[in-house]
Amino acid sequence: MKLLLLGAGKTGSLVGEVARERGHDVETLRSADNPNTSALTADRLAPFDCVVDFTTPQCVLAHIRACTEAGKSMVVGTTGWHSEMAGIRKLVEQHGTGFLYGSNFSVGVNLFFDLVRDAVPAMQQGYAARIYERHHTQKKDAPSGTAAAMQAMLQEKTGAEVEITSFREGDVVGMHELVLDSHNDTIYLCHDAKSRRSFAEGALRGAEWVVGKKGFFEFKDVWREMK
């Protein structure tokens, strides 16, 4: 598989490393070489089977539009664009491409999401919920996409909007915690990432999975199908 990787940050670079380990041909396009999405032309994109985006919220929408209009499958790990999801879904469907996105591509985090959903009965029994997330100081968005996904899961089931507290400190890879508190006790659910490699492996498995498919997919719904 020939991949075009957009973004050469910590996670993006690791995606490239994992892809090469798995025998794929990878080319990286840095932001300096792609001002205003000028490098993402149909001719430039033609040789690639899939485009993987780990860039920033400021440019990801333009990347998605350019790649989708060129008929390219995409995996998007960048967050901060989900308010535009309806329009992007329509664009993907119009062009018949495969599109996979996720607030977090770690299998461990997606298992953690299952535990978060299982915590809903505690809220229905009077426990007060709060979400805490910690990341490195270079992270562009706050709250994280993972924390926002946790909040949305709980709100969908209970109608309550759970408060998120974000911390940016040192080189923290990513820690997410759901705290459920009552007068009698406190329940803690926590996922603490030791390495960014789990994110990179998930994104690469997603790219292998989405090539050849048509549709708009979220990683949390399909990761169990991936090899």
pLDDT in tens, 140-170: 789 998 999 999 999 999 999 999 999 999 9
pLDDT of residue 206: 96
**Has residue 16 got a pLDDT over 90?**
yes
Contacts of 171 (CB under 8 A, 6+ apart): 136, 137
CA 103 to each of CA 91, 106, 199, 209: distance values in angstroms, whole numbers, following the listed order: 20, 9, 10, 17
Q: Taking each helix axis from N to C terminus, what angle separates 197-210 and 107-118, rounded to the nearest 10 degrees?
A: 90
pLDDT digits (tens, 9 = 90+) for 70-128: 999 999 999 889 899 999 999 999 999 999 999 889 999 999 999 999 999 999 999 99
pLDDT of residue 138: 85
pLDDT digits (tens, 9 = 90+) for 31-63: 889 999 999 999 999 999 999 999 998 999 999
Which residue in the list 63, 72, 135, 191 is annotated as catalytic?
135
Which residue in the list 10, 24, 82, 139 is annotated as catalytic?
139
For the chain, percent of residues with pLDDT exceeding 90 = 88
**Has residue 9 got a pLDDT over 90?**
no
| Alpha-carbon span 111 to 180, nearest angstrom | 18
Nearest to 153 by CA among 125, 187, 185, 129: 129
pTM score = 0.83
Q: Return mean pLDDT, the chain.
A: 94
| Alpha-carbon span 40 to 26, nearest angstrom | 16
**Has residue 131 got a pLDDT over 90?**
yes
At 23, the pLDDT band (50, 70, 90 cuts) reads very high
pLDDT of residue 5: 96
pLDDT of residue 38: 95
pLDDT of residue 44: 96
**Has residue 180 got a pLDDT over 90?**
yes
| Alpha-carbon span 202 to 97, nearest angstrom | 20
Active site residue 139: yes
Domains and CATH numbers, the chain: 2-105+197-225 (3.40.50.720), 107-192 (3.30.360.10)
pLDDT of residue 186: 98
| Alpha-carbon span 20 to 104, nearest angstrom | 21
pLDDT of residue 141: 82
